Amino acid sequence: MVERQITYFDLGQIARSGQCFRMYETAPGRFSLTAMDRYLEIRQEDDRFWFDCGEEEFDGFWAHYFDLETDYGGFIARIGKRDRYLQAAAAAGSGIRILNQDLWEVMVTFLISQNNHIRRIRQCVERLCLHFGEKKETPEGHVYYAMPGPAALADPDRLKDMGLGYRDRYIARLAADVAEGRLSLEHLKTIRSRKQTHQELTAIYGVGDKVADCIQLFGLHQIDAFPVDTWIKKILERHYPKGFPMYRYRGCAGVMQQYMFYYAISEKEAGERRQEP
C-alpha cells in the first residue's frame, strides 16, 4: 500500500473526463483501473490517496502514468484572469491530469469513440478485453482481462459480434497493419513535429482530425493537441466567438480542452440528475 498526498489530482474527475475508459469509481472514493496488463485499486479522500501496490511499482510505473511529475497548478495559473468561463471550468476540473496511457490502447479506444457515447465505448472496450485479452489475476485473487494486443484484433471476422458497428473494420485493419509491421507505433512515438504526427495518424483508415488529436493528446502525451468534437465546437462558438486564445496556452492547450470538456459534460450530467431524482 502506497500512501501519498497529491494536489491537483482527482480520480473521479479523471474517470469521468473521457480520456480513459477502464477506470471506474466502484464506490464513493474508491476506484479501480485497468491499464495495459496492470490492475490497480485506489482510495481517495480529498488530496490523500492510498494506492494498492508496492512503492516500487508506484514509483516505477503509476506515478508517471498519472502524470504526477507535471505541475498542473502552473497550467491553471496561466488562464486569463478575465476569462471567467475557463476559470470556472478549470475550478470544476482542477483534479484532471492527462494520463500517460499506452499508445496502442488509446488508438483502439478512440477509434471506438467516434459517433459513440462514453458508456457504450466502455462496453465495447470491456468486451474486447474479455474476449481477446489475456486473463490475469492479482495476488488478492481479483480476475481481470488485459488489453488485447494487435495480433489478437487483426481478424475482422472475429470482431463482428463485438458491437463495434462499422468501426470494426477500422480496428481490424489497424491491428493487422501493426501486427504485420506495416505500421510502427514506436516510430509514431519518435516523431518530433506535431503536424507530422497528425499527418501520419490521419493517414490511418478510420482516423480523422478529431481522433488523431485525441491519440496525440492521450496516447502520445502531446498536451498541446486540441481535439475539437461537437462539445468543444459548441463551447467555442458560445464562449469564444472571436476565437479561442490558443497563443496563450501554447504547450498546454489540451489541458484547457479537458477542463472545458469536463465542465460541459458535468453540467449535462447534473441536468440529467435534476430531471430524474
Partner DNA sequence: TATCAGGCCCTAG
Partner DNA sequence: CTAGGGCCTGAT
Residue 68 CB, nearest approach to DNA (Å): 22
Of the two residues 17 and 197, which places its CB atom closer to DNA in the complex? 17
Of the two residues 53 and 95, which places its CB atom closer to DNA in the complex? 95
Of the two residues 53 and 227, which places its CB atom closer to DNA in the complex? 227
Of the two residues 60 and 165, which places its CB atom closer to DNA in the complex? 165
Query: 230-239 and 253-275 helices cross at what angle (nearest 10)?
Result: 100
Residue 130 CB, nearest approach to DNA (Å): 15
Residue 67 CB, nearest approach to DNA (Å): 17
Of the two residues 70 and 109, which places its CB atom closer to DNA in the complex? 109
Residue 52 CB, nearest approach to DNA (Å): 26
Residues that bind DNA (CB under 7 A): 17-19, 110, 113-120, 163-167, 202, 204-212, 214, 227, 229-231, 261, 265
Residue 136 CB, nearest approach to DNA (Å): 26
